[in-house]
Amino acid sequence: SYVLLNDQITERKNVKIDMEDRGYNFGDGIYEVIPIYNSKLFTLDEHLDRFEDSARKLEIKLPYDKNELEKLLHQLKNANKIDNGIIYVQMTRGVSPRSHLYERDSNGIITGFSREMKFPEKPKQKGIHVFVTEDIRWLRCDIKTINLLGNTMIKRNAFDKQCQEGVMHRNGNITEGSSSNIFIVKNRTLYTHPASNLILNGITRQLVIQLARKNNIQVIEEAISLQQLKGADEAFITSTTQEITPIRKTIGDVDATFQIGEITKTLQQSFNKYVEIHCK
């Protein structure tokens, strides 16, 4: 298969990563996962803006501009003939003798791959179980860093408890899922954590907020307490690969069950319509 290495589309076997790449030593890098529907890169602009934003926050220098990256990602998708799936793209701070102190002058190293995959239908239709637990991550969750140990530990924990996602809270305020954002519905109003340093501002999250308002559903961006989750009418998670996935049951720090309600179904339909229109 073909992959992206800096400004080249090349075969995967040609890519060699230095053992002192800062991504390898420190998890010093950023990434994006971009969906492909019907051979179109969906919400590419939003993903590239966030990529630039993460790079700026960590002072990692892009080796070329956003337009060049956009062109290369299209080339990568075409080289692998992807109809439906994802592109994964990441940038590390590059290679330097191992030291905590980073320099600002060198360019980042970009790698990327694409993968054909069908986002599974079953969880979107039947819903999932989630494990609610304490948020053990750092305080810059707004940066889409490849340093994901808090997230991976919580995901493993959730799966070990027969749940498909872990949902995290800080002192009783729900932040997000291990690889998703979370929304609840109460009295036909949508609630989700505000975009702050405590969550990743998901591209799907932002689209769902936009679609809700278009459907005259009120959206309130404020932290959801554990009690609010317990008393919610509906709950769902959002992400690039999980789209809008209903929550049927929570265990851990909240025990609750939910029906897949009207608002969730309306938003799912609205999301599918939006994809169809934008990926014709």
Where in the sequence numbering do the catalytic residues fall?
144
- Nearest CB to ligand PLP, comparing residues 41 and 200: 200
- Nearest CB to ligand PLP, comparing residues 80 and 181: 181
What does the block give as tokens for 40?
A: 């179109």
- Nearest CB to ligand PLP, comparing residues 5 and 48: 48
- Nearest CB to ligand PLP, comparing residues 84 and 106: 84
| In the complex, least distance from residue 46 CB atom to ligand PLP, rounded to whole angstroms | 8
Q: Which residues contact 167 (CB under 8 A, 6 or more apart)?
A: 130, 131, 132, 133, 174, 176, 177, 178, 182, 237, 247, 250
- Nearest CB to ligand PLP, comparing residues 9 and 148: 148
Measured in degrees and rounded to the nearest 5, phi and psi for residue 268 equal -60, -45
Q: How many CB atoms lie within 10 A of CB 179?
A: 20
| In the complex, least distance from residue 16 CB atom to ligand PLP, rounded to whole angstroms | 27
Identify the residue whose tokens are 């609840």. 184
CB-CB contact of 278 with 214 (8 Å): no
CA 19 from chain centre, in angstroms, equals 27
Q: Which residues contact 67 (CB under 8 A, 6 or more apart)?
A: none
Chain residues that interact with ligand PLP, rule: CB under 6 A: 151, 176, 179-181, 200, 202-205, 238-240
Amino acid at 25: N
Amino acid at 168: M
| In the complex, least distance from residue 148 CB atom to ligand PLP, rounded to whole angstroms | 7
Buried b / exposed e across 64-73, counting CB within 10 Å, b at 16+? eeeeebeebb
Query: Pairing relation of β-strands 40-41 and 165-170?
Result: unpaired
CB-CB contact of 13 with 74 (8 Å): no
| In the complex, least distance from residue 238 CB atom to ligand PLP, rounded to whole angstroms | 6
Question: Which residue has the CB atom at the shortest distance from ligand PLP?
Answer: 202
Q: Is the dihedral angle over the CA atoms 29, 93, 201, 194 positive or is it negative?
A: positive
- Nearest CB to ligand PLP, comparing residues 209 and 217: 209
Identify the residue whose tokens are 């979107």. 124
| In the complex, least distance from residue 179 CB atom to ligand PLP, rounded to whole angstroms | 4
| In the complex, least distance from residue 216 CB atom to ligand PLP, rounded to whole angstroms | 23
The closest of 254, 255, 191, 183 to 222, measured between CA atoms, is 191
